Amino acid sequence: MSIHHEASELSTQLTTWRRHLHAHPEVSFQEFETQKYLLDQLESLGLKPYRIGQTGVAVDIGEGSKGVAIRADIDALPIQEESNWPFRSVNDGVMHACGHDGHTAILLGVAKILASRQDQLPGRIRLMFQPAEEKIPGGAKLLIQDGVLDGIDRVLGLHLSSDMPTGTVGAVVGAQTANADSFTIDIEGQGGHGSQPHLSIDPIIVGSELTLAIQSIVSRSMNPRSPVVVTIGTFHSGANFNIIAPRARLTGTVRTFSVEDRRQVRRRLEELVAHISAAHGAHAVLDYVEGYPSVTNSERETSIVREVAARLPGIQSWMDIEPLMAGEDFSYYQEVCPGTFFMLGCRNEEQEAIWPHHHPRFTLDENALPLGVSLLSETALQYLLLP
Ligand code: NI
């Protein structure tokens, strides 16, 4: 039987897995029950899964000198679910609101399909059930530290998308998500009486000038042909109307697509923080934290996903999607091996699968699950045939 037919016949099982996971969500680095469930399910398929990266699970199917790893992220979000599905979250304040329940069910489906072909595989396929995609520093790094990519030549992953209708697939060749960094600026002024500004150093003035000057990084220091975002998200200072505050704190995020842009923004931030604060006699410190690097899809591996999608019944179209300013820790695997992270549509008005990701009513069209199983299984087999 073809993989496609087998995946279609798995629909009910995929839905059962997904609904169980949906009802029992766990936040990043706390996926203990999820880990147990995955070990049980994989063992019942006759496989030998193992724990990795604290709360993750990996399992090898087939053997040989070639290796392909497929990743599903398994964590949920600290969100109170607002829908009324019979399988809604039983864990207060925790919800699978990004579709990772779907990703995990899909990878269990891949396990089932590949397990029955173990002896015929032209190499090794490693399934990686990764914890903590939603929380920096992310689970991918832990898995890599634990050797999850040893003996692996290519990586593959997907993300369901409620922006794209079920039956569509898309990916960007090159940078698909942004380098997603964050920063804090602590400004130390000199507090005093609101009526005596000449005896103090006002950190609110310094912070305000900085906020405006930072806007000029994108407009004056960056190549207008490459997209960059710098956002100040918080500005906290002061306690009362007639007091000049002693200090202020700004926090923000930086999104870039290249290493050069990332470096340039950071350098400009450092200069502005040092010089604007010095101009006012204040002292300011920038704490810049590099988050997930950019997911960058290699050309050949992405074209294989596209060819597999074109042959697959149930896939209506390929979408040349736009790069997203969001972050995703799949990028750490791509720093080690080439590979593709593609988007699979799961939007369906009839099933209320219309809400954006991270929304308390987010849900997905379960018809997308068997499509995900076929796409990942077929593509991984193609990757194993590459030189
Ligand atoms: Ni997600």
Instruction: Report the pLDDT value the prediction gives residue 251, as an integer from 0 to 100.
Output: 97
* Domain boundaries along the sequence of the chain: 3-177+294-384, 179-289
Q: 179-289 — its CATH code?
A: 3.30.70.360
Q: From the CA of 119, how far away is ligand 1's center (Å)? A: 33
**How many residues belong to the chain?**
387
Fold of 3-177+294-384: Aminopeptidase (3.40.630)
> Cβ distance 70 to 107 under 8 Å?
yes
pLDDT tens for 108-144 read 999 999 999 999 999 999 999 999 999 989 999 999 9
pLDDT tens for 200-243 read 999 999 999 999 999 999 999 999 999 999 999 999 999 999 99
Instruction: Report the pLDDT value the prediction gives residue 305, as an integer from 0 to 100.
Output: 98
Instruction: Report the pLDDT value the prediction gives residue 320, as an integer from 0 to 100.
Output: 86
pTM across the whole model: 0.90
From 75, 301, 365, 366, the catalytic residue: 75
Q: From the CA of 222, how far away is ligand 1's center (Å)? A: 29
Q: From the CA of 209, how far away is ligand 1's center (Å)? A: 36
* Bridge partners, residue 57, by sequence: 51, 129
Q: From the CA of 98, how far away is ligand 1's center (Å)? A: 5
What percentage of the chain reaches a pLDDT higher than 90? Answer: 98
* CA pair distance 333, 72, nearest whole angstrom: 12
**Residue 190 CA: distances (Å) to CA of 170, 249, 251:** 54, 14, 20
For residues 165-184, give the mean pLDDT: 96
From 26, 133, 153, 181, the catalytic residue: 133
How many C-beta atoms surround the C-beta of residue 233 within 10 A? Answer: 10
* Bridge partners, residue 77, by sequence: 95
pLDDT tens for 1-23 read 899 999 999 999 999 999 999 99
Q: From the CA of 103, how far away is ligand 1's center (Å)? A: 9
- Is 75 an active-site residue? yes
Q: Has residue 35 got a pLDDT over 90?
A: yes
For residues 287-291, give the mean pLDDT: 96
Q: How confident is the model at residue 154 (pLDDT cuts 50, 70, 90)?
A: very high
Instruction: Report the pLDDT value the prediction gives residue 1, as an integer from 0 to 100.
Output: 82
